[in-house]
Amino acid sequence: MNPKEIRIADFTYELPDERIAKYPLQPRDSSKLLIYKDEAIAETVFKSIAEHLPENTFLIFNNTKVVEARILFEKNTGSIIEIFCLEPSEVYSDITTAMLQQHKVQWKCLVGGAKKWKEKSLIKKVTYNESELILRATIIQKYNDYFLIEFEWDNTLSFAEVLHAAGVIPLPPYLNRKAEAVDASTYQTIYAKHDGSVAAPTAGLHFTQAIFKSLEQKNISVNNITLHVGAGTFMPVKSETLQGHEMHSEFIDVSINFIQQLLKAIQQKQKIVCVGTTSIRTVETLYWMGVKIENEKWKIENGEIVIQQWDAYELNNSVTIETALQSLINWMQQNNRQQLITKTQIIITPAYQLKIVDGIITNFHQPQSTLLLLISAFVEDDWKKIYKYALANNFRFLSYGDSSLLWKKS
């Protein structure tokens, strides 16, 4: 199957608005859990997830943290201009560096109400720790898809702290409601650590401390990578085939220790299970980075190996998983890298053969989305059966919805 010829119309289904969860259930782990294994479907509750994972499973989480990426500036006329921070300018090597900037920073942004922006700069006054913060936004340059905006503020706070003080949580557009105070906690995993995402890795929203304790009792290891989720995760495929769709690129941050532990788990034939599509994209990217190193033909941007959209379909995939990961480890050691910080644009489709991952814990995704394409890489055409079951059995859909545990179809 040529991935570029895949028709997005083949990955649609009817999703009534009332099936989209507008708010999460409480407690987090009370959501329903659909289990797909050996072509059979069952259901239970999420708090029992550990019972359905083999002992010694190597479980992978994305510990990115959602930032308050929407900033509302009110003009003297009362009109509102909304700035949505997408990702930092290329002058910064990674998101963490940009988030730690003081006094000023440049960011790629979307602007709602841009035609009303007549002034040189917008100004917003915010109270932070009982003192007043003055935030100024100035357009540096306008591009086809975004504005490059410089933010300036009058104290030594980091930009992450500025966003926390001045911004609001960017809820997914399909929730069709404004963010509320409670979303600051409910739209965040309990293990979120590194600021940088504009959307939550929602598969992880169901996990609680009680579940982590049950995982530990079953000797299931908890392992963390970081992929900062971009706004492109909500971007629908508008072209008839994937040939005309440009996959969004996102920052990943993976430690050499994680890659070494992953390699050990594979050698010991442990089951590899990812929590969420972002974790899968990151882990499968590691394999292709190792392939590029083996082939000595990798492309380097800002000193890093990057994976482009179609690399996984065009590179030689005869390199074993163990060889690819060991090559990546060797490259990091030779270059004195403890952390692998780069970008991935990998697109996982029904034409993709999963290299590393055996199972995925994930929510139910939008029709005609790249996330649904990724699910079909696991279960092939059975995604239709799974989603039909979920719709017929009152599962809640999308970010605040219910969950599933899907095992790779043999």
Domains recognised in the chain with CATH numbers? 3-65+191-407 (3.40.1780.10), 69-168 (no CATH)
What would the two tokens of residue 66 be?
Answer: 């959602």
Q: For residue 56, give the amino acid letter.
A: N
Cβ(243)–Cβ(4) below 8 Å: yes
What stretch of H or E contains 272?
Answer: strand 272-275
Residue 299 confidence (pLDDT):
56
Cβ(313)–Cβ(288) below 8 Å: no
Residue 66 confidence (pLDDT):
96
Task: Give, in order, the Cα–Cα distances in Å from 257 to each of 9, 177, 225, 228, 326.
Answer: 41, 41, 11, 19, 12
Residue 230 confidence (pLDDT):
86
DSSP-assigned states of every residue in 336-380: T-SEEEEEE-----TT---SS--EEEEE---TT-HHHHHHHHHHT
**How do residues 250-287 score in pLDDT, each as one tens digit?**
999 999 999 999 999 999 999 999 999 999 999 999 99
Residues of the chain with pLDDT below 50 are none
Residue 239 confidence (pLDDT):
93
Q: Count Cβ atoms within 10 A of the Cβ of residue 363 and give its class: 0-12 exposed, 13-18 middle, 19 or more buried.
A: buried
Residue 195 confidence (pLDDT):
93
Greatest CA separation for the chain: 65
CA contacts within 13 A on the Cβ side of 179: 21
**Cα–Cα distance between 248 and 181 in angstroms, integer?**
29
Phi, psi dihedral angles at 15 (to 5 degrees):
-120, 100
How many CB atoms sit inside 10 A of residue 21's CB?
Answer: 19
Residue 300 confidence (pLDDT):
55
Lookup result for tokens 């942004």: 109
Residue 303 confidence (pLDDT):
59
